């Protein structure tokens, strides 16, 4: 995408801070949490994430939990704050959502590369699945500041799994909502409404965040309708800082070569048409045979 040239990379010194939880509230099936995180908020860009340690210093859950940044306030009353949206699903996320205000959490961030922003005031569609929509409102504001037209499409299984519908109506030029069960908006998946939204708004860029199957669908539709997809992936990470090599996925580079790249440092945002969707199946991702270094894996377990 020629117009989207700005890529954000982590700074030379990535902040690691004890962040005080100053607000936590339930929003549907999720918890919206605000931390004072001096140094993190000031550097962050839409699409970047934070890695939170869970369970305290002697926790049996060693791996950090990564959350895309919902919003930042660089100069709040308490210093810079960072907001994340957490779905209590396992022991780590439940520990977080059970925290009382004034608890402290070790936070590393901002991490990863954020959404590239177009240099020109183009038309954009932002698509969020479930609480994958969390970073999109902040992105919408940044795009509108640049004069972009911003449409949002929010989809989820049920009404209580949608995140940010009210915020979307305030922050976008148009909002379409879908639910699988029809409890709010159009019944069906975002893929049912997306072609029409892209065509109607003559969109050049489609930004997406949500489950992998949805991101593939967004990419296919965007490509078919002449738009570029920029998607933020959700891969399970152990560290979030590029040292564990667990969050890799096959992505094709400018040189046409596919590599197993780390979604934490080279993503989480990728051009949708660069991801090798053919390698994903049934919750797993294999290494494409033509990937760099795949030949030396053959004949081995």
Partner 1 sequence: MIDMGVDLAGMRLPNPLMTASGCAANGRELHCFFDIAELGAFVTKTVLADPRSGRGTPRMAETPSGMLNSIGLQGPGIADFAQGDLVWLKSVGARVLVSIAGNTAGEYADVAAALRESPAFDAVVGVEVNISCPNVANRGLVFACDPLSSAKVIALVREKLPRNIPIFAKLSPDVTDIVEIAGACVKAGADGLTMINTLLAMVIDTELLRPQVAGVTGGLSGPAIRPVAVRAVWQVRAAMIEGRIRTVPIIGVGGVRTGDDALQLVAAGASAIQVGTATFNDPTAPVRVNRELAAALQDKGFARFSDAVGIAHTRLDQGR
Return the number of the residue (13 or 102) whose C-beta is nearest partner 1: 13
- Sheet of 186-187: strand order equals 186-187, 174-179, 149-156, 123-129, 205-209, 228-232, 269-271
Task: Return the closest-CA partner of residue 111 out of 220, 237, 296, 259.
Answer: 237
Q: How far is the CB of 162 from partner 1 (least distance, A)?
A: 24
The site string for partner 1 over 102-121 (x = CB under 8 A, - otherwise) reads ----x-x-------------
Residue carrying the six token digits 């199946």: 281
Pick the closest to residue 258 from 268, 248, 246 (CA basis).
Answer: 248
Our finding on whether 60 is near partner 1 (CB under 8 A) is yes
Residue 119 vs 297, nearer CB to partner 1: 297
- What is d(CA 22, CA 164) in angstroms, rounded to the nearest whole number? 20
Inter-axis angle of helices 190-201 and 212-224, nearest 10: 30
Between 32 and 276, name the residue whose CB sits nearer to partner 1: 276
Q: Which of 145, 187, 236, 278 binds partner 1 (CB under 8 A)?
A: 236
Task: Indicate the residue among 14 and 97 with the shorter CB distance to partner 1.
Answer: 14
Which part of the chain contacts partner 1 (CB under 8 A), choosing from 40-48, 117-125, 220-228, 247-255?
247-255
> Is 37 an interacting residue with respect to partner 1 (CB under 8 A)?
no
Please give the backbone phi and psi of residue 225, each rounded to the nearest 5 degrees, phi first. Answer: -110, 20
Residue 6 in the binding site for partner 1 (CB under 8 A): no
User: Which DSSP state fits 172?
Assistant: S
Among 53, 82, 99, 233, binds partner 1 (CB under 8 A): 53
- The strand pairing partners of 230, in sequence order, are 207, 271
Considering only 29-37, 163-171, 181-189, 240-248, which stretch makes contact with partner 1 by CB under 8 A?
240-248
Residues in Cβ contact with 198 at an 8 Å cutoff, skipping those fewer than 6 apart: 125, 206, 221, 222, 225, 227
31 binds partner 1 (CB under 8 A): no
Q: Is 93 in the site for partner 1 (CB under 8 A)?
A: no
> Residue 180 in contact with residue 201, Cβ under 8 Å?
no
Instruction: Tell me: does residue 166 bind partner 1 (CB under 8 A).
Output: no
Q: Does residue number 301 form part of the binding site for partner 1 (CB under 8 A)?
A: yes
Q: Among 6-14, 128-136, 141-149, 178-186, which window interacts with partner 1 (CB under 8 A)?
A: 6-14
Nearest of 202, 195, 222 to residue 277 by alpha carbon: 222
Give the binding site for partner 1 (CB under 8 A).
10-14, 16, 53, 59-64, 106, 108, 235-236, 238-239, 241-249, 259-260, 265, 279, 283-287, 291-297, 299-301
């Amino acid at each position: 995408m020629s117009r989207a040239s700005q890529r954000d990379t982590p700074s030379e010194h990535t902040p690691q801070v004890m962040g005080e939880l100053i607000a936590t509230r339930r929003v549907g099936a999720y918890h919206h949490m605000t931390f004072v995180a001096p140094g993190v908020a000031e550097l962050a860009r839409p699409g970047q994430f934070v890695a939170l340690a869970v369970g305290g210093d002697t926790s049996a859950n060693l791996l950090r939990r990564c959350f895309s940044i919902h919003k930042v306030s660089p100069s709040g009353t308490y210093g810079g704050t960072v907001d994340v949206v957490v779905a209590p699903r396992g022991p780590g996320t439940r520990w977080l959502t059970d925290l009382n205000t004034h608890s402290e959490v070790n936070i590393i961030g901002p991490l990863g590369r954020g959404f590239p922003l177009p240099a020109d005031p183009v038309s954009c569609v932002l698509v969020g699945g479930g609480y994958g929509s969390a970073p999109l409102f902040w992105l919408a504001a940044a795009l509108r500041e640049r004069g972009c037209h911003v449409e949002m499409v929010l989809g989820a299984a049920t009404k209580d799994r949608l995140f940010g519908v009210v915020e979307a109506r305030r922050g976008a030029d148009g909002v379409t909502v879908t639910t699988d069960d029809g409890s709010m908006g159009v019944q069906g998946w975002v893929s049912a409404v997306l072609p029409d939204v892209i065509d109607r708004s003559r969109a050049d860029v489609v930004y997406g965040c949500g489950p992998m199957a949805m991101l593939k669908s967004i990419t296919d539709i965007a490509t078919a309708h002449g738009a570029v997809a920029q998607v933020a992936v959700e891969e399970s990470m152990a560290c979030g800082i590029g040292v564990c090599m667990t969050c890799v996925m096959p992505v094709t580079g400018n040189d046409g070569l596919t590599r197993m790249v780390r979604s934490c440092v080279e993503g989480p945002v990728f051009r949708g048409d660069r991801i090798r969707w053919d390698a994903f199946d049934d919750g797993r991702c294999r290494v494409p045979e033509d990937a760099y270094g795949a030949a030396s894996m053959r004949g081995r377990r």
